[in-house]
Chains A and B, each alone.
Chain A
Amino acid sequence: EDQVTQSPEALRLQEGESSSLNCSYTVSGLRGLFWYRQDPGKGPEFLFTLYSAGEEKEKERLKATLTKKESFLHITAPKPEDSATYLCAVQASGTYKYIFGTGTRLKVLA
C-alpha cells in the first residue's frame, strides 16, 4: 500500500536555528514527490516537485532533497514567517492520485 509518513509531527525552532523535516514514502514506482506549505485557514501552497533520487531544489531558505525512500526539507536560518505546516505528497507511476502525509507543524520563535 502506498504510504507517506512525515516526522516530526511538530517542531519548534529559534530564529536562525537550521533544521530538517523528513518525509518517508512507500510507493509502487514514484512519479513525483511534492512539498507544500499550509498556513492556518488556507489551502496548501506549492513549494517543490522532485522526480528522481538525487534531485535537489531550492527556494530562499528552503531546500528539498530526494532519495529512493525519503525526502528532506532543509530550512536554513529560519525566520518567524516560515512558521506553517509543511506537507509532503507522492504520486505513484500510472496514476494521477496524490497521497499526502499528515504534515509537520513548524513554529519559529523570534
Chain B
Amino acid sequence: DAGITQSPRHKVTETGTPVTLRCHQTENHRYMYWYRQDPGHGLRLIHYSYGVKDTDKGEVSDGYSVSRSKTEDFLLTLESATSSQTSVYFCAISDPSGGEDTQYFGPGTRLTVL
C-alpha cells in the first residue's frame, strides 16, 4: 500500500468554525490532490499541488484553501465550515516522472458540519 495517511479520520464540527485536514505521504511523490466524495457526484477535485508551494484549483474549490510547505504534507482548510461541506474527503498522490500517472488514495476523512 502507498504510504498515505489522513488525519483526522472523523470529525464533527459546527457551522462557521475553521477546519484543517491533513494528508501525509511517505512516497516522496510530487503531486498531491484533495477530493470530496458525495453520493451522486462521485469524486470531485478540490485543489491539487504539483510541488512545494505550488497549488492549483479544481472544480469545487470555493470555500477551501490548501497549503503545501513540505513535500510530504498537504493541508486542506475550510475557513468557515458550512453544512454543504459535509462529505468524505480523500487525499491522493501521484508521480508521473516514473512513467505511470497512477493515483494512490488515502483512507479518507469523514467530516460532518452541524
Binding site for B on A (CB under 8 A): 31-32, 34, 36, 41-46, 49, 87, 89, 91, 96-103
Binding site for A on B (CB under 8 A): 31, 33, 35, 40-45, 48, 50, 58, 90, 92, 94, 96, 100-108
Does B42 lie within 8 Å of A101, measured CB to CB? Answer: yes
Does A43 lie within 8 Å of B102, measured CB to CB? Answer: no
A75 to B94, CA, bound (A): 27
A101 to B35, CA, bound (A): 13
A101 to B96, CA, bound (A): 22
Chain B minimum-CB-distance residue to A96: B31
A15 to B45, CA, bound (A): 35
Does A97 lie within 8 Å of B105, measured CB to CB? Answer: no
Does B43 lie within 8 Å of A44, measured CB to CB? Answer: yes
Q: Report whether over half of chain A's contact residues are helix, strand or loop; otherwise say mixed.
A: strand
Does A96 lie within 8 Å of B94, measured CB to CB? Answer: yes
Q: What's the minimum C-beta distance from B39 to chain A, rounded to whole angstroms?
A: 9
Name the residue among A36, A43, A89 with the largest chain B CB count within 10 angstroms. Answer: A43
Does B58 lie within 8 Å of A46, measured CB to CB? Answer: no
A41 to B33, CA, bound (A): 19
Does B31 lie within 8 Å of A100, measured CB to CB? Answer: no
Q: A96-B96, A102-B40 are in contact. List 4 more A-B contacts (CB 8 A).
A: A42-B108, A87-B42, A97-B45, A98-B45
